[in-house]
Structure 1
Amino acid sequence: MADETCCSCNEPLYIEIDLDSDVEDGKAAASLETIPDDVQLTCGCHYHWECFMEAYTMTKCPHCQQDISSLSPSGQQQVICTVRNEGGVQEHFDILPSAAEEAYLRTYPEEREGHAFLSFCRDGDVDAIVHMIKDVGGLDDSDDEDEVEAGVSVPELLRYSGTFEGIDGSGLHVAIRYGREEVAWLLLVLASSLSWSEFPPEVLQAMNSLRLTKDDRQPGIDIRAIKDASGRTPKALAQDVGGAWDSWISASRLGA
C-alpha cells in the first residue's frame, strides 16, 4: 500500500492531523500526526474515504468501472472493501450504506444538519448536541459575528426524524435504542411538555452546567408523540428495549 495513491486525487493514502489545533499561531510549532486513509475496493483501486464518497455514483468503481457490488447472504446489495484508518484495518467492510447516505445528502443538502443531529444522539454526545442547537439558533457565545445561515430551525432540528445507518425515528428514539439516557433527558428538557417537577435535581443541575434554562424549551409537537418508520412512539420502543427504560415507563416520563 505504501506506493499506492488515491485514484481520485492522486495523493498518498494518508492524512495529517494537527494535534495542537488550539495552539495560537507563532507560539509553538504545529504537531502533525500522519494516519492512514485508504479505501481499497475489490477491483484493487484505492481511494481516500472522502474522495470515494464524492466520486461514487453507482455500483462500479469510479476509476476502472469494474463492478464492485455483490449480494450478501441475505440477498442485500453490498460493496465490500478494506478500510484502513486511525482505528486500524477493517476487512470485509460494506461501504454501500455510507456511500448511499452521502449521495442522498449531496442531493438533499438541507437534510445534513438533521442527520448530524441524530448521529450525535446515537453517540451520546450531549455537548455536541447543545453546541449544534445554539449554533443553529444563533445563540452561540463565540466572538464570530458572521450571520447564521438560514436553514433548519431549532424546533425542527429537535424533532427531526430520519432513517439511515442504524438510525430510525427521532432523537428520542435513537437515544432509547442506544441507551443514551443523558440525551433522552436533554430532549425531554428541550422538546417535550413533561412537567418540570418530574425532572430529577441532577438533570436540572446538568442544564445549568450546559447553560440551558427553562426558557430554552422549544415550541412544537411533543417529541414523545413522534413515531418511527414502524409506527412506534418512543414509549413503545422503550417497552421493546426494556432494561433501564422500564423505570422511565413506570414513571410516565415517555408519555401516559
Structure 2
Amino acid sequence: MSTTCDLCSAPLTDPDTGLPDSVLLPCSHTFHYPCIEDEYLNYDFPATASSSTTTTIPAPLPTASNSFPCPTCHTLHNPLLATLHNEGGLQHSYNLGAHLAEEAYYDARPHLKRMRAFLSFCAEGDAGDDGEVESDAGRLVDAVDRETGEGVLHVAAGNARWDVVRVLLEKGADLGRMDNAGRGVLDVVREVAGEEGVREVVEAAGWGR
C-alpha cells in the first residue's frame, strides 16, 4: 500500500495531528481525503438544477451521483467505494461517492448547507467556536428534514437539548409540527423526558395561557 498521496505526493497523514489520512480506491490508488474531495468538487459533472430558496432540506441525492473516475488512472468507479483510514480507524467499502455528492450539493446551495448545520446544532449543540449557527435560530426555526419530516424542535427534543428547545420556542418554532411518521414535537418530548418534560415544554411555549 502506498505511503504517499497519488495527487500531492505528501505522506498519508494529517499534517496537523499526524494521524492517518488516506482514501484507498478499488483501483489501488491512494489519496488524502482533502485531495480527492477537491478533485471531486472541481470535476466537470453535467449541469444540475439551480438552487432554490426552500426551507426544507432535500431528500438524498440519486445514486447516479455516486460514480467518479479515479483522478490518477481515470478508472470509473460506480459506485465510488473506498477504504478510509483516519482518526476513526479503518472503514471498508465506504460509499465515498454518495458522501462527496452530498457535500458538493450543499456547497452549491449555501442556504441549505446553513440549514443542515443548524439542524446539526439543534441535535448536538456543535455550533463552532464563534456560535454563528446559533445566531441563525430566528431565520431557520422552520427548517425541516424532508427525509424524516422532523423540524428543529423534533431534533432538539429528541437529543434532550432543552436549552436549544427554549431558544427555538422563543424564536417562534412551531410546537405543533408533525414529522413524516405522524409524531408531534410533544410526542418526542414525552419519549425522552416523560410527562414532566411535556409540562415544562408546554409552559415554556406559553400554551394554555
Report if the CA contact (8 A) 2:150-2:179 is conserved: yes
Report if the CA contact (8 A) 2:68-2:97 is conserved: no
Moved runs in structure 1, 4+ residues, more than 6 A? none
TM-score with structure 1 length normalisation?
A: 0.56
Alignment gaps of 5+ in structure 1: 18-32, 71-78, 137-152, 193-216
Of residues 149, 169, 191 in structure 1, which corresponds to 2:168? 191
Alignment of 1:118 onto 2:119: yes
Alignment gaps of 5+ in structure 2: 46-64
Alignment match, 1:160? 143
Alignment match, 2:195? 247
Output the CA distance in 2 between the equivalents of 1:98 and 1:84. 16
Alignment match, 1:5? 5
Alignment match, 2:176? 225
Structure 1 segment 52-71 matched on structure 2, within 5 A: 52-56=36-40, 58=65, 59-63=67-71, 64-70=73-79
Q: Tell me, what secondary structure is at the counterpart of 1:15?
A: coil
Q: Tell me, what secondary structure is at the counterpart of 2:69?
A: coil
RMSD of aligned C-alpha atoms? 3.3
Equivalences, count: 179
- The amino acid across from 2:36 in the alignment is F
In the TM superposition, residue 82 of structure 1 has moved relative to its aligned partner by 0.7
Alignment match, 1:195? none
- What is the identity percentage for the equivalent residue pairs of Structure 1 and Structure 2? 23
User: Residues 34 and 160 of structure 1: is their aligned pair in 2 closer, same or farther, counting only changes over 3 Å?
Assistant: same
Output the CA distance in 2 between the equivalents of 1:60 and 1:50. 15
Greater relative contact order structure (CA < 8 Å, 6+ sep): 2
In the TM superposition, residue 160 of structure 1 has moved relative to its aligned partner by 2.4
Alignment match, 2:50? none
Q: Tell me, what secondary structure is at the counterpart of 1:225?
A: coil
In the TM superposition, residue 112 of structure 1 has moved relative to its aligned partner by 2.0
TM-score with structure 2 length normalisation?
A: 0.66
Output the CA distance in 1 between the equivalents of 2:156 and 2:129. 12
